[in-house]
A and B are shown apart, each in its own frame.
Chain A
Amino acid sequence: MSATVEIGLPASPSPVQVRGLCAALQGRLTSGEVRLVVIDAELLVGEVPAVEALARLALTARRGGAAVRVRRAEPALWSLLVLVGLDEVLPEQAPDPSPVNPCPPATPVRTVSGARPVLLSRRTP
């Protein structure tokens, strides 16, 4: 049975946050069941930390045998990914007609003071 993991990123993830997310993602991938990691980039600002965060998560997913898709990224972030040649490594997920409904409820894995909690959730299609 294949499963999807969804990750929500804050606006400008710090290196510590990225390391935490990657470690958490790595833990979720050890079972070998997860085939797809969806990164929700709605809040992500199109700056260098975004490129670093997305690329690190993509590397972690690849090591765990999962594919990566990015959803809800702003145009500025897409243009940055194209500029730096990473748009093919981080393809866009086609808009889903049925909204993602995390199940079980999203669990904060790292909360940064003053920032929205970073979410790591799982759903089984």
Chain B
Amino acid sequence: MTSTALGPRPDVRVEDLEQHRRELTGYCYRMLGSGFDAEDAVQETMVRAWKAADRFDGRSSLRSWLYRIATNVCFDSLNSRKNRALPMDLSAAPSAPVVESLGAPLPETAWVEPVADGRVLPETSDPAELVESRESVRMAFVAALQHLPPRQRAVLVLREVLRWKADEVAELLDTSVASVNSALQRARATLAARTPLGTAPDPLDAEHVALLRRYVQAFEAYDIAALVSLLHEDATQCMPPFALWLSGPADIGAWHLGPGHACRGSRMLDVRVNGTLGFAQYKPSATPGRLEPWAVHLLEVADGRISSITNFLGAEHFRQLGLPEHLPT
């Protein structure tokens, strides 16, 4: 195999940059909340790195240098567009479970999107490393950043992006090191608890997987009573690109039995997204014998129940995740 040297740094090769592509995509997804945007950002990172290879002085590792460039690219991207969100970020009040609540899709809104594991998780056999990597793509950094007070944002960015020491941050912000550490802890906790209740199911946790299987079984059988019995009492459901979101098992059940009844007869395929197990739903179409792509379901769990259901509607997600265009009935 031939290797391509970069300009005046013959010891930096294209392959050296490329081997970081996947983890950089995960990092950029965390910053941007979109797989498409993350891939664009990584491409831009590679181009900038290529052009600036002669300025890589070798004092930091190539990986650190690439991360710095990727951070710049992501901040550029964030400055040029609205932050990505989920419906619950747009409205504090849940919607009524009727079709009128659906309204028109909001294509102008930049939604958080699912991303395939294969594009962002490293190829590793180390379970601990894999768990950590999964955590890193389970929420969008910037979507969560919006929920932090300014002081916590500053501490988080100075400590975790710019890598300042705690005492430097304290001095700049005119506070104590203890306050900085406390703010950082609170910021991390907010990031970790991006959703009020649950966490993404762990694909290696047998109880989580069993709960997910029961969800799929109930959905495919369209046994809404069984589906509702799996839900946490504070469960939510949303369907971007619509702003609608539902709260509580009763309303979620009513939605499925009302406006959502066209999903009866659907089939679900497993799909590895966002470091967890999701489901691609194909629903009956106007073409006999054919099921059409409808939504990618991402669930969260709390206290042994399903605490949130996010249905990413649209065939574009299926294409991005490499899923079949349709299924036979």
A residues neighboring B (CB under 8 Å): 46-49, 51-52, 55, 58-59, 62-63, 76, 79-80, 82-89
B residues neighboring A (CB under 8 Å): 68, 71-72, 75-76, 78-80, 145, 148-155, 157-158, 161-162, 164, 168, 171-174
Q: Min CB distance, B269 to chain A, in Å?
A: 38
Task: Please list 15 pairs of residues, one from A and one from B, whose beta carbons are closer than 8 Å in the complex, sorted by A's number.
Answer: A47-B75, A48-B71, A51-B157, A52-B162, A55-B162, A58-B172, A59-B171, A59-B172, A63-B171, A79-B79, A84-B154, A85-B153, A85-B155, A88-B150, A89-B172
Q: Counting chain B CB atoms within 10 Å of each CB, which of A46, A55, A87, A88 scores highest?
A: A55
Instruction: Write out the residue numbers on chain A whose beta carbons fall within 8 Å of the beta carbon of B164.
Output: 55
* B interface majority secondary structure: helix
Q: Min CB distance, B64 to chain A, in Å?
A: 12
- From A48, A55, A58, A62, B75 is in contact (CB under 8 Å) with A48
CA distance A59 to B72 in the complex (A): 22
Q: Min CB distance, A80 to chain B, in Å?
A: 6
CA distance A48 to B171 in the complex (A): 20
Establish whether residues B154 and A59, one from each chain, have CB atoms under 8 Å apart when the complex forms: no
CA distance A48 to B31 in the complex (A): 13
Name the residue of chain A whose CB is nearest to the CB of B163.
Answer: A52
Q: Min CB distance, B205 to chain A, in Å?
A: 35
Q: Min CB distance, A50 to chain B, in Å?
A: 9
Q: A62-B171, A83-B153, A85-B151 are in contact. List 6 more A-B contacts (CB 8 A).
A: A48-B71, A48-B162, A59-B171, A76-B80, A82-B150, A85-B153
Establish whether residues A47 and B152, one from each chain, have CB atoms under 8 Å apart when the complex forms: no
Q: Min CB distance, B313 to chain A, in Å?
A: 29
Establish whether residues B79 and A86, one from each chain, have CB atoms under 8 Å apart when the complex forms: no
Establish whether residues A83 and B172, one from each chain, have CB atoms under 8 Å apart when the complex forms: no
Establish whether residues A55 and B79, one from each chain, have CB atoms under 8 Å apart when the complex forms: no
